[in-house]
Amino acid sequence: MSTGQSSTRFAGAVEKLGRPHDVRGLTLSGLHMVLAMRLCAMFDQAGRDPVPDLAQRYRSIEAACAVHGLVQTIKQVWPEPFMVNRPCCLAMTPDEVTLAALVRNALGADRGSFGQVIDGFVRVERHGALYDATVHAAALLPSA
């Protein structure tokens, strides 16, 4: 693929990610995941373990551990630091928009679309670990 074809292929994705997105447009599962990522980042910065607070929020230690496991997986597979906004912010970062799309596809058991969301960004050999961690965490979060 030539450089021109490659830049054209991803131009639409880059433009889409550049537009502001609002957390109020997310599904409940997507909102929970984005807010959990924000809380994990806040606790990480403070040097605290987020699991006890997540367990209280979701009334499930298993869900809290699964979300924390997803955060750890993202730290390992994401090619750059995962950017989040403050928990009170309605706007989403491009990384949060991507995470919401991954959650949507994971809950729909659509591994193909899941891979398309991160194709060219996250190395292909890392997709499986990210998919498994996302499915596990999203399945345990409250959806209603």
Give pLDDT, residue 135.
97
Give pLDDT, residue 3.
60
- Alpha-carbon distance 89 to 75, whole Å? 22
Give pLDDT, residue 111.
96
Domain count within the chain: 1
Contact 117, 105 (CB under 8 A): yes
> pLDDT 10s digit of each residue in the chain, 144 long?
556 665 666 676 666 655 668 999 999 999 999 999 999 999 999 999 999 999 999 999 999 999 999 999 999 999 999 999 999 999 999 999 999 999 999 999 999 999 999 999 999 999 999 999 999 999 998 875
Contact 57, 33 (CB under 8 A): no
| 2 occurs within a structural domain | no
Domain that holds residue 85: 22-140
| 7 occurs within a structural domain | no
| 99 occurs within a structural domain | yes
| 103 occurs within a structural domain | yes
Contact 137, 23 (CB under 8 A): no
| 15 occurs within a structural domain | no
| 14 occurs within a structural domain | no
Give pLDDT, residue 45.
93
**Environment class of 81 (CB within 10 Å of its CB; exposed 0-12, middle 13-18, buried 19+):** exposed
How big is the chain by its Cα radius of gyration, in Å?
A: 15
| 11 occurs within a structural domain | no
| 16 occurs within a structural domain | no
